[in-house]
A and B are shown apart, each in its own frame.
Chain A
Amino acid sequence: MTLEVTNEASSTRPDLSNRDFALDIQDFKVYYDTPRGIVKAVDGVSLAIRQGERFALVGESGSGKSTLAMAVMRLTRPPGRIAGGNVLLHGTDLVSISEEEMRQTRLADIALVPQGAMNSLNPVMKISNQVIDGIIDHIPEDAPKPDADELENRVNELLVRVGLAPMVGQLYPHELSGGMKQRVAMAIAISLSPRVIIADEPTSALDVIVQRQIMQTLGQLQEGLDAAVLLVGHDMGLVAQFADTVGVMYAGKLVEIAPVETIFSNPLHAYPQLLIESIPTMDERKPLTGIPGLQPSLLNLPEGDVFAPRSPIPHTPEDAATVPKLVEVEPGHWVQLSRSSVADFNTYAHLVDY
């Protein structure tokens, strides 16, 4: 099956291959301590995003995408905890800085466009004040306080940049449509021109046309700021049009990372292969549901290749029990190499010691 990738942006996307990493996540682990055991929602994830790159993280519901996104912002709450690894933001390890340093980093250097944008605005506060307070709380102690007019102009300019009328600032969240709220969330995210933006399913719960517009706006904002974007999503079609690079997550682990063209034309791991086959056409987008079998419970996962039980590739129990490694099979193309889930394993067997 061949699939035509209509990446509107890709033709015009700049070559990023020799730029610095903006966000470098290394062997990151986030666990939930539940009464029934430890849920390893993110279990040793490594990925790096260059400045100006659009990285999309996809995977079934419950695979740990939001957990990862929130943990990068250090917004994990009990029973969740960061259990190991590093998150380097322009070289600074976010995992080890103080709470106050992290607070100042949020919004200024790394901003979040939330998953539930519908409810992510304070229902009793005017939009403009919700944009302003983030700005005010990031003014250094010794800097002069901006006056009200200055702030208002800034809010208006931000609202216009995300495609909203300035008067929206005078409204309350319940007076806005879902798409407008999502735009407000984006206006807040870019209010301090961060170099890294994390967008967790910014289009969920919106209708298809609005989804498209929102993604276009996000793309324009990204270009304007030359920001690195980590986009979480489960709609492969939407991702295909937006991203430069795609990471596929399964049960808390990354199984394949590749440039967007490669992931569609030459996926190596069985899971992304199945994901892509399950998209009928590019015009009829649908969530990732069409794969037989169920994602395993993240509670007390067995060692080895966790995708093996759903893999269509014939394999022995020993193959499934071998702990696979994420290896770079060609420049920019990483695969979790296991005999049970990678049909071409033998081609790359020389890269691993099992």
Chain B
Amino acid sequence: MTPDGVRSESVVSRLKHATFTELLFVVFHSFLLRRFLFFLLVIWIAATVIFIIPRLSGQDPVKEKLLLEAQRGGAIQTGFEQMAEAYQKRLGLDQPILTQYKNYMFDLVRFDLGTSIAFYPRSVNSMIADSILWTIGLLGTVIVLGFLIGTLAGALLGWPRSPGYLQFLFMPLLTLSAVPQYLLGLILIYVLAFKFSWFPLFGAYNPGTLPSWDFAYIWDVIQHAILPALAFILGAIGFWAVGMRGMMINNQGEDFMIQAEAKGLKGARIFMRYAVRNAMLPQVTGLALSYGTLLSGAILIERIFMYPGIGDTLFQAIRLSDFFVIRGVVMTVILSVATATFLVDVLYPLLDPRINYGRR
């Protein structure tokens, strides 16, 4: 009996004997570094596109907006002079385009998103900071819950030993996954808030209350969050369930599934450790890929529920043609999507041993 020998040595022992150039090679080909470069690339390309788009249109919506407001004698009269000056300086439209680009990029690197036009002289950063916690709180909970419940539902739907009546869930779930979540939100508001008055109609807390860390306030916040959360989760459940079911059915034919059964394993173990564990992998990749779409959905849900998160800030800015705020929100969202994608990329090898940090 001759052992075949272990084909792959451990990463450590490989590195120990590496020369300097080999080390450099490893670093440059390393998974982490490439993912990080991609992360930077996404942000850079997105920032550049955001820089180019207004300049392609050949017109200057910001200036027009300013003139319009000045003529109307609108709310932003006060301090109009300074603002126009600051605006000129910031965009530096008289300077060569490369200089504009350079200044823009420098501002971005310092995460200086500029000043609001409608609420001059508030900085865009402070406006985003005020609203983003609401979004993170709501969205964070809801993305995780939707993913977990949906994946579990899909796993059960795609498991041949599940009770047959579960299959009746499939069509409703599929329909839910096909309906944009903010439209589900509209229906929920109508039925649960308007008709039955079980939940508040909109907002994140009662207008009269002052934010404080007491029980009444927290309860108020939770009540306000339930409907938007439900709208989001219902849609997400359908989305993840449909995908997971497909993966589970696909996995059924894999040799390792047949072998798991030939090993006489208990059903629960085959389900969790073999079927779900493997069908999960594309779901996690999918989470990274669809995070941006989920976030877009969340923006619209906030709009429907007048929930004071970043999506509502964006909507108000669109209404007021507050260009820098729009740009700031877009940049923040893209940054968060890129970060989330990077995190999933970094954590993925922990789930799938075939993806190696050291190599491709």
Contacts and interface: CB of A to CB of B under 8 A. Distances in A.
Contacts of B260: 122
Q: Which among B255, B269, B281 has the highest number of chain A CB atoms within 10 Å?
A: B255
B1 A217 contact: yes
Contacts of A174: 353-354
Contacts of B252: 77
B264 A163 contact: no
A169 to B, nearest CB: 11
Given A106-B262, A137-B265, A116 B255 contact: yes
Given A171-B6, A172-B353, A179-B4, A114 B262 contact: yes
A118 B258 CA distance: 13
A199 to B, nearest CB: 12
Nearest to A209: B2
Interface in A268-289: none
A73 interface: yes
A177 B4 contact: yes
A172 B8 CA distance: 10
Contact of A114 (B7, B258, B352): B258
B268 to A, nearest CB: 10
A174 B274 CA distance: 16
B16 interface: no
B72 interface: no
A137 B266 contact: yes
Contact of B269 (A73, A133, A179): A133
Contacts of A103: 264-266
Contacts of B264: 103-108, 134, 137-138
Contacts of A77: 252
B259 A120 contact: yes
Interface stretch (A2-10, A18-26, A180-188, A250-258): A180-188
Nearest to B256: A122
Given A119-B254, A163-B2, A125 B259 contact: no
Interface string A174-204: 1111011001010010000000000000000
Given A119-B255, A124-B278, A183 B265 contact: no
B3 A163 contact: yes
A73 B1 contact: no
B259 A185 contact: yes
B351 interface: yes
B102 interface: no
A213 B2 CA distance: 8
A124 to B, nearest CB: 6
B262 A75 contact: yes
A164 B4 contact: yes
B277 interface: yes
A225 interface: no
A171 B353 CA distance: 10
Contact of B263 (A119, A134, A168, A175): A134
B265 A133 contact: yes
A119 B6 contact: no
A187 B114 CA distance: 66
B273 interface: yes
Contacts of A125: 273, 277
Interface string B250-294: 001011101111111110010001100110010000000000000
Contact of B259 (A112, A171, A172, A177): A112
A119 B258 CA distance: 10
B261 A75 contact: yes
Contacts of B1: 163, 213, 216-217, 220
Contact of B351 (A107, A124, A134, A188): A124
Nearest to B264: A106
A68 interface: no
Contacts of A106: 261-264
Nearest to B161: A99
Nearest to A179: B4
Interface string A109-141: 001101110111111110000000110011000
A352 interface: no
A120 B277 CA distance: 15
A125 to B, nearest CB: 7
Given A75-B262, A133-B273, A175 B351 contact: no
Interface in B87-131: none
Nearest to B1: A163
Nearest to B267: A103
Given A121-B259, A124-B352, A168 B266 contact: no
A349 interface: no
A97 interface: no
6 contacts: A105-B264, A107-B264, A114-B258, A120-B255, A137-B263, A213-B1
Interface of B: 1-4, 6-8, 252, 254-256, 258-266, 269, 273-274, 277-278, 281, 351-354
Given A124-B278, A133-B263, A168-B6, 17 more contacts: A73-B262, A75-B262, A108-B264, A112-B259, A114-B255, A115-B255, A123-B278, A124-B351, A137-B266, A138-B264, A176-B4, A177-B4, A180-B4, A183-B4, A213-B1, A217-B1, A220-B1
